[in-house]
């Protein structure tokens, strides 16, 4: 036990992927909601 965290790239990739997906999905949902409301307007 060195007290140093070894490896861990899978955690880094998971954190960045979740962040990117969160922003992408939310952005897409906003565009869809806006489009629907403008069509109805």
Q: Does 39 bind another protein (CB under 8 A)?
A: no
Q: Does 26 bind another protein (CB under 8 A)?
A: yes
C-alpha span between 34 and 41 (Å, rounded) = 10
C-alpha span between 33 and 40 (Å, rounded) = 11
Query: Using alpha carbons only, what angle is made at residue 10 by residues 4 and 12, rounded to the nearest 5 degrees?
Result: 75
| Residues between 1 and 20 that touch another protein (CB under 8 A) | 3-9, 11-12, 14-16, 18-19
Q: Which residues bind another protein (CB under 8 A)?
A: 3-9, 11-12, 14-16, 18-19, 22-23, 26-27, 30-31, 33-34, 37-38, 40-41
């Amino acid at each position: 036990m060195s007290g140093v965290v070894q490896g861990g790239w899978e955690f880094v990739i998971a954190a960045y992927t979740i962040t990117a997906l969160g922003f992408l999905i939310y952005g897409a949902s906003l565009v869809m909601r806006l489009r629907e409301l403008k069509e109805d307007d």
